Amino acid sequence: MTKGRVIWITGLSGAGKTTLALAVSEALRAEGHPVVMLDGDELRDLLGAASVTRANHGREGRLALALKYARLCRMIADQGCTVVIATISLFQEVHAWNREHLPGYFEVYLKVPETELRRRDPKGIYRRFDAGEICDVAGLDLPVDEPQSPDWTAEFVEGRSAAQQAQALIAVLQQAI
């Protein structure tokens, strides 16, 4: 059986990870690749870690959850599928583990300035943080590790659509196959 690969899309909340993962998954499926798309928010809910508590959203809880995501990705990829995962999981330990253990690992980093993340704020996370309603927000009061050597970095460009970003990533992935 041919091993699959893992496309790990990371960035802060509101960076566009899920939007990009959906577009990339659709494009790969259209090319005939078996694809499983995983979303960090859905996985967090599935694994019972959705409630906003320090245990779930603090560094240790997030790190443990990210390593569970990585192991799940490995299990699916080992069955011959391409896994596209959208998750914050900004920890050097996770990135290092992924590079060592995940087949065909390809790391994508969506680097979006805080001002744009706050403007988008699709889940109200930044607004709720500013109001003092939540804490342990990745990139604000919870330090994160930017990827040291992502395979592809998408710097924010004003006016660049999600479709354009997906097309650019697909072109890079096609060369990497």
CA distance 155 to 153: 6
Closest to 104 (Cα-Cα) out of 135, 67, 76: 76
- Kind plus residue range of the DSSP H or E element containing 96: helix 92-101
Please report the sign of the dihedral spanned by the C-alpha atoms of residue 107, residue 91, residue 66, residue 132: negative
Catalytic-labelled residue, pool 13, 25, 89, 149: 89
89 is catalytic: yes
- Kind plus residue range of the DSSP H or E element containing 77: helix 59-77
CA distance 84 to 102: 12
Strand-strand pairing, 5-11 and 35-39? unpaired
Instruction: List the catalytic residues.
Output: 89
